[in-house]
Amino acid sequence: MATVPGEFRFGNFLASIIWIILIVIVAVTLVILPLIFIVLFYLPLPPANGEVLTPYLFLSDVVDPTRTLPIIKFLIHTTPFKVIVFPGFVFAAIIAAATIFVERKFLAKMQLRVGPLYAGVWGVGEGILQLAADGLKVISKEILIPSGADRPIFWAAPIAFVATAAAVVALIPVAPGWVVSNTNVGLIAVFAILGFFPLIALLFSWASNSKYPFIGGLRALHQMIAFEIPFILSALSVVILAGSLNLTEIAKSQHQFWFILFLPISAFVFFISSLAELERVPFDLPEAESEIVAGWLTETSGMIYGLIQLGSYLKVYALAALFVILFLGGWSGPLIFPPQLGPPTINSGPTLEKMLTLQGFYNQVTVNAVFWFLLKTVIIIMLMILPRGISPRIRIDILLHTGWYKLIVLAFVNMFVALALIYSGILGPGGSLSVH
């Protein structure tokens, strides 16, 4: 008897599971393990008991409980780990993915809708798998390139968009010592990198060979012109009080008092300018789906659209984290985590107990710093999401007027306040409220 299309058969299901297991085994054997060996041959390994570790000894030691944690501790402090995993790309991408899901559910609740529902219905987490479903859909969809488009630029622009967002993330410190690039001119580097986003949008829209994307690209350029100056001026007042362009030093200088207490106007201008930089409502003129289809994203499809969305939400995390660093003291906060996991007698306990309590790996200061940094960043991200549910899109003339005639003036006002605090001896080097 012929099989009815769409009919479920347990035998077919079991066969597909077996095929998946076999594919995973083959992939691990022929691809993953050889790649691990290749990486280990070029990665300097720590000495163990006076002898240099080889890749073969390393893999043997991984299954040894007495050596696993020291090896992991060594690896997480290497530059590749910081760049790829934490606090680099993977860490920021996870926050970006969570932001997408939370935004959809949050706005749905605001507008009395259900939001993502069907992919995963686990109690309060209904729709929790919708993000994975949408990701698989984007990856599997065909990429359509308009006729007459400049193909090299059309392909390169989305990759450049994600790479530029990742470059901003690399400059953001999340805890003492946990930053990919701790440069002395970190704040200048952030603004220099952010200036590339409108140019990439304009270049991509031009390469699309379509009028609606090009209009959106021009709007993105206008938006940068209107808000770039107040954006930089609002951060300049922070530099005056901190006496440094290094983002780590700026965060440390707020150990006693957050700068938002002295520079609330600058914080407001920076937040509004961040919304404009992110093209978030009410400053979503470059996309403006009710006016120019989808703006500079009109001709995107498949993974090209997925890459641009990933880059956009990486920017959301980066600018929210930058706001936390500049105005909310970065990772500063009261110590709420214990000095160690487990009882005080853990040092003399069995090896398995030491592993379960992460002895030699757990750091109270770092965990506490990451917790407060994430909490503050999530709060700012939620505030960035909020206007999308309550604000209409503004006109282009109002946008330009707001940037040039209002926000610049406000930024200068708080900059003069910062100078007054410096010259009066309240803040700054040697100030009465400064950290000594």
Q: Which residue has the higher pLDDT, 157 or 388?
A: 157
Q: Which residue has the higher pLDDT, 433 or 102?
A: 102
Identify the pLDDT of residue 99: 92
- Are residues 368 and 332 in contact, defined by beta-carbon separation less than 8 angstroms? no
Mean pLDDT, residues 168-185 taken together: 92
Please report the pLDDT score of residue 119 as a whole number: 66
Residues 354-389 have pLDDT tens digits of 666 666 677 888 999 999 999 999 999 999 988 887
Q: How confident is residue 123, by pLDDT bands cut at 50, 70 and 90?
A: very low
d(CA 326, CA 64): 44
DSSP-assigned letters across all residues of 239-270: HHHHT-S-HHHHHHTTSSS-GGGT-HHHHHHH
Distance CA 399, CA 146 (A): 31
CA distance 309 to 311: 5
The dihedral built from the CA positions of residue 118, 100, 375 and 385, taken in this order, carries a sign that is negative
The predicted model gives 131-153 an average pLDDT of 82
Please, what is the average pLDDT of the chain? 81
Closest C-alpha to 237, from 405, 413, 409: 413
Averaged pLDDT, 192-219: 84
Mean predicted confidence (pLDDT) in 292-310: 82
**The pLDDT value given to residue 4:** 47
Mean pLDDT, range 139-167, rounded to an integer:
86
Neighbouring residues of 215: CB distance < 8 A, sequence distance ≥ 6:
205, 292, 295
* pLDDT of 124 strictly over 60: no
pLDDT computed for residue 62 by the predictor: 61
- 282: cis peptide before it, omega within 30°? yes
The band of 436, judged by pLDDT with boundaries at 50, 70 and 90, is: very low
Q: Is the pLDDT of residue 226 over 90?
A: no
User: 164: exposed, middle or buried (C-beta count within 10 Å: 0-12, 13-18, 19+)?
Assistant: buried
Nearest C-alpha neighbor of 218 from the set 399, 342, 20, 39: 399
pLDDT at 381: 94
Model confidence pLDDT, tens digit, residues 75-106? 788 888 889 888 889 999 999 988 988 888 88
DSSP 3-state helix, strand, coil percentages of the chain (rounded to 5)?
65, 0, 35
Q: What confidence tier does 350 reach under pLDDT thresholds 50, 70, 90?
A: low
Q: Which residue has the higher pLDDT, 370 or 337?
A: 370
Burial 71-87 (b: 16+ CB within 10 A, else e): beeeeeeeeebbbeebb
The pLDDT-based confidence of 216 (bands split at 50, 70, 90) is confident
Q: What is the pLDDT of residue 42?
A: 72
Which one has a higher pLDDT value, 87 or 131?
87
From CA 339, how far away is CA 346, in angstroms rounded? 12
Tokens of 156: 């390169």
5 pLDDT band (50/70/90 cuts)?
very low
Rg for the chain, CA atoms, rounded: 25
Mean per-residue pLDDT, 210-230? 81
Label residue 227 by pLDDT band (50, 70, 90).
confident
**Unique residue bearing structure tokens 């001119």:** 185
Higher-confidence position of 4 and 44: 44
Q: Is the pLDDT of residue 319 over 90?
A: yes
Q: For 26-76, write each residue's pLDDT tens digit.
A: 888 888 878 877 777 776 666 666 666 666 666 666 666 566 666 677 778
In which region does residue 112 sit, left (phi positive, over 0), alpha (psi from -120 to 50) or beta (all else)?
Answer: left
Instruction: Quote the tokens at residue 151.
Output: 């193909």
Residue ranges of the domains in the chain? 146-343+355-423
Q: Name the percent of the chain lying above pLDDT 90.
A: 23
pTM: 0.82
pLDDT at position 3 is 45
Listed range (77-81, 179-183, 290-294, 348-352) with the worst mean pLDDT: 348-352
Which stretches of 38-194 are assigned E, i.e. beta strand? Answer: none
Answer whether 180's CB lies under 8 Å from 127's CB: no
Question: pLDDT, tens digit, for every residue of 104-116?
Answer: 888 888 887 777 7
Q: Which residues contact 423 (CB under 8 A, 6 or more apart)?
A: none
Distance CA 185, CA 244 (A): 8
Among 260, 271, 205, which Cα is nearest to 238's? 260
**pLDDT tens-digit map of 245-281:** 999 999 998 888 899 998 999 999 999 999 888 888 7
Residues in the chain: 436
User: Given this model, what pLDDT does residue 355 score?
Assistant: 64
Q: pLDDT for 396-425, tens place per residue?
A: 777 777 777 788 888 888 888 888 888 888
